[in-house]
Structure 1
Amino acid sequence: MSVTNHAQPAAGITDYIAIARPDHWIKHVLIIPGVAFALIMSQTGPIELATLAERLVICLFVAMALSSANYTINEWLDAPFDAMHPTKRARPAVQTAMSPTIVLAQYVVLTTVGIWAANRLGYAFAATATVFAVFGVIYNVRPIRAKDRAFVDVIVESLNNPLRFLFGWFAVVPSIAPPVSILLAYWFGGAFLMAAKRVSEHRAIVEAGGTANLAAYRPSFAVYTHSSLVTSCLVYAQGFAFMMAIFLLKYRIEYLVVVPMLIALFASYMRLALTPDSAAARPEELMRQPAMLIAAAVTMALFGILTFVDLPWLNSLTSSDLIRLGGIR
């Protein structure tokens, strides 16, 4: 339940809009690779641009509606815990007296219209949207409330990444599934980002109020340590690299050229997470990191270029033949 007292002002319409977090819609940029890879890999023939544009608009609307529904219950149910966080204590659910009826109605309306719109894009897209909504409940609502369970919280929250990829993919090709390797890579990549976020949050809470505030903010943080979180980041990064290697070698070896850029992006984000008052704790603020945005744009551009440029010399990397050294007896 929300934190309330008699001194709190009644929440206004802007407060209810704020808990839906439209400023977090920037995270749906993760849909773009799903669209791009579907266009590149599906080979379904000519695409009607007007139809594709309509499907992509509906896709984005569904993603925004369902994520805002999840954020609504997230912020409402987290209010008692956010009151113990050095920055989240300023959120509307903590600072104002919100009506449970309005909060529930907002969640139901956003979820309903999101699922309704998702059904216009076919069974696979609607099933993905339903899973997205269900995991929002699993993550936020008791008795499961996965976000309170160390490491399980990262696993569940980061599932939103491959689900966003599927949004983009099924918006383009509703009858073909993407490779499992790219979905697992997307999940590992999301897990790395979420674990890095917790590295930053863990440090900020300890610096603001000591280790006693960790459990008050979230039970999982009483289990986490700085070293366990950093170690988990390493595990997730390795998982991402392994699954991406499978995907690249299996489908287009030219994409291996992009690997150094991906490594640099992961290293930059980890460095950011280890920086005081880091934007890694607030992913929606990454738009203020121009160097990282430029690197991400260059990486995506390289993927696009290498889709059409063949590099035959890379094929030797998949050969099982040993290298023979001439002139040695």
Structure 2
Amino acid sequence: MSSVAQTPTLAGHWEILRVDHWFKNVFAVPGVIVALTVVQHINTEGLFARLLLASVSLCLVASSNYVINELLDAPHDRLHPTKSSRPVPSGRVHVPLAWLQWLVVGALGIWIGSRVSTGFFVAAAVLWGMGCVYNVRPLRTKEVPYLDVLTESVNNLLRLLAGWFAVDPGVYPPGSLQLSYWMVGAYFMAIKRYAEFRFIGDASRAAAYRASFAYYTEARLLTSIMFYAASAMLFFGIFIARYRIELILAFPLVALVMAVYFNTGLKPDSAAQHPERLYHERALMAAVVVCTLVMALCFVVDIPALDRLLEMFPRSGYRPF
């Protein structure tokens, strides 16, 4: 652990924005793709400009949330084997200026979001608000078992909604898709918690670092991971059957990505603790790329035979899927 106080620097203030985490906003892309392929008669005029503004807005809102996370987690990060070297606990940030940084960056991101569409503005504002719910007392849900995972993974859903409303189709995305996206986010977050818990390796130190670890055990975390995975696939299956049956061909690849990610979470000092390092996991990256390409094809290529196959069987009788 770092114990030497350092001098606040501009680099420290830049670092707490966590620009290397902006890649997480890629979770907004499926919202764009689904809106363009599922909803008919969308006005695409000015779409590129809206998507560009949406990207900037999401990055700024996310960075604002990272700043408050860094500020309020600093006392706990000092107890972590590696996070003690972060900018705030190591003294490389001027704390009052960082609070101003949090407000200004967040306000700018939400204002830019208001230029995209009303729906996107609401999604961006709620995303910023969830950063407060997750980090700020008296709620600070990151310290409450299970709520820590469920509220953090809501950000996954909000990014989906942001991508959807950046297209501005005039309707809401299907509930089955929203629930599936939320649960798959919870699956990823629970694996991150599991990897963190195993890395610390000492129950008392883990509880001192994160209050929810006082309740969690490896068995409880693994059980929750199973629940989130099953829920995500259930709702994804409903979405496939209702809106895009071709996606059933990509289902095995989705399962493969989840299995490889689970295996990543089981490794010592797992990259699942630090999502920005996941690109080092070659098997995971290969599975993600192949799955993404196949799903993209399933969205644009119609296979009428799949629909006809399902229509051959009445709802009350045998169905092959």
Query: Partners of 1:39 and 1:84 in 2: how far apart?
Result: 47
Give 2:257's match in structure 1, choosing from 257, 265, 289: 265
Indicate the residue corresponding to 1:33 in structure 2: 30
Work out whether residues 86 and 205 of structure 1, in 8 Å CA contact, stay in contact via their aligned partners in 2: yes
How does 1:168-187 map onto structure 2 within 5 Å? 168-187=163-182
How far is the alpha carbon of 1:113 from its aligned partner? 0.4
Please point out which of 173, 188, 196 is paired with 1:193. Answer: 188
- 1:223 aligns to what? 215
The change in CA–CA distance for 1:323 and 1:201 in structure 2 (over 3 A counts) is closer
Alignment of 1:49-198 (within 5 A): 51-96=46-91, 98-198=93-193
Matched residue type, 2:242: K
Please give the alpha-carbon distance, in whole angstroms, between the structure 1 residues aligned to 2:66 and 2:139: 17
The correspondence for 2:205, drawn from 213, 232, 243, is 213
When structure 1 is superposed on structure 2, of 314-323 and 263-272 the one drifting more is 314-323
Q: CA deviation at 1:267?
A: 0.7
Contact residue 86 and residue 204 of structure 1 kept, 8 A = no
Match of 2:294 among 281, 287, 302: 302
CA distance in 1, matches of 2:170, 2:43: 16
Candidates 26, 41, 44, aligned match of 2:41: 44
- With normalisation by structure 2, the TM-score equals 0.93
**Unaligned runs of at least 5 residues, structure 2:** none
Identity in percent: 37
Mean Cα displacement is larger for which, 301-310 or 133-142? 301-310
Given that residues 35 and 169 in structure 2 are in contact (C-alpha distance below 8 angstroms), is that contact kept between their aligned partners in structure 1? no
2:147 alignment partner AA: V
* Letter in structure 1 aligned against 2:15: A
Q: Aligned-pair distance for 1:304?
A: 2.1
**Aligned-pair Cα RMSD in Å:** 1.8
Structure with higher Rg: it is 1
Aligned pair count reads 315
Give the 3-state SS of the residue equivalent to 1:78 in structure 2. helix
1:117 is paired with a residue whose SS is: helix
- 1-structure distance, mates of 2:285, 2:197: 25
Note if contact 2:74-2:89 (Cα within 8 Å) is conserved in structure 1. Answer: yes
One-letter amino acid matched to 1:131 = V
1:236 aligns with 2:220: no
Tell me which residue corresponds to 1:316.
309
Aligned to 1:327: none
Q: Provide the rounded CA distance (Å) in 1 between the counterparts of 2:306 and 2:316.
A: 15
| Distance across 1 between alignment mates of 2:128 and 2:27 | 17
Structure 1, unaligned runs of 5 or more: 325-329
In 1, the alpha carbon distance for the partners of 2:72 and 2:203 equals 23
- 1-structure distance, mates of 2:269, 2:56: 32
Matched AA of 2:264:
L
Give the residue type in structure 1 aligned to 2:309: S
**Distance in 1 between the 2:104 and 2:266 partners?**
39
Kindly state the Cα deviation for residue 295 of structure 1 after the two structures are TM-superposed: 1.7
Quote how far apart the aligned CAs of 1:294 are.
Answer: 2.4
Report if aligned partners of 2:12, 2:92 keep a CA contact under 8 Å in 1: no
* CA displacement, residues 296-320 of structure 1 (integer Å, 9 cap, x when unaligned): 2222222222232315146435633
- Contact 1:42/1:173 (<8 A) preserved: no
Q: Runs of at least 4 residues of structure 1 off by over 4 A?
A: 321-324
TM-score, normalised relative to structure 1: 0.91
- Residues 1:15 and 2:37 are matched in the alignment: no
The 3 A distance-change label for structure 1 pair 240 and 323 is closer
Structure 1 range deviating more: 314-323 or 85-94: 314-323
